[in-house]
Amino acid sequence: MIELRTPAEVEEMRPAGRFVASVLEATSRAAAVGVNLLELDALAHEMIRAAGAESCYIDYHPSFGASPFGKVICTSVNDAVLHGLPRDYALRDGDLLTLDFAASVNGWVSDSAVSIVVGTPRDGDLRLIDTTQRALTAGIAAARPGNRIGDISRAIANVAKAEGYSINTDFGGHGVGRTMHGDPHIPNDGRPGRGLPLKPGLVIAIEPWFLETTDRIVTDADGWTLKSADGSRGAHSEHTIAVTEGDPIVLTARS
């Protein structure tokens, strides 16, 4: 079911957005050569406790997950792009790391993701990250009354295709509210003018993610981490936004 939020409810969602942004900022700063993925998860866990927030991940067990997730942040490295289950792995120079985090504050959820390079960057990684960020910006710009879900999807796809990336539509954006995942589904490619009409009060997560040389993904042996089928690297950018009468509000904007 799709629910539209009142302006007052959108204001109530701002603390969750700020908190999610702060955790991604802190874990991004902490991600350095030699830092273990489990240390990043512990940092996010401590911030959740300190803020009195609730994890959206630790007990999360959808049909595509092998078991409850058991951690509080997704850490996807190199050829992993989504749902990266934190493991005993020390980051290396040049690793491409995606951090994806969702939490509930005062009963409202926000969800966001960022990709960074640890240490020395590769040009291809920077291009991939930049493309996801520009696609996210384009998708957000299309999130206006009078447009439809397909307009967001096509805006994202136009950026990716201009850079030569193919697009997987199995996983994409989604509604956000009292729970982490809700309707509508927002694929990263689509037909303009099609799909749900966008109305003020719609709160959604928009999340472009692309792989360097494929659009096919496989599930890692951990039962959660989604990786490229050909070993190429992936990047992912995501914000929770609210559609308004005017410009969209980016609830998870980072400083």
Residue with tokens 């719609």: 202
* Ligand-binding site membership of 239 (annotated): no
Residue with tokens 């809700």: 182
* Ligand-binding site membership of 111 (annotated): yes
β-pair partners for 173: 186
**Burial class of residue 132 (count of CB atoms within 10 Å of its CB; 0-12, 13-18, 19+):** buried
Give, for 72, the enclosing helix (H) or strand (E): none
d(CA 29, CA 17): 18
A 10 A CB-CB count for 170 gives 12
Sequence-ordered list of residues with C-beta below 8 angstroms from that of 186, at least 6 positions apart, any chain: 139, 149, 152, 153, 172, 173, 174, 204, 205, 206, 207
**Residue 139, amino acid:** G
Give, for 93, the enclosing helix (H) or strand (E): none
β-pair partners for 98: 76, 115
* Ligand-binding site membership of 83 (annotated): yes
Binding residues for substrate: 83, 181
Annotated binding site for a divalent metal cation, which residues? 100, 111, 174, 207, 238
- Binding-site residues sit at 83, 100, 111, 174, 181, 207, 238
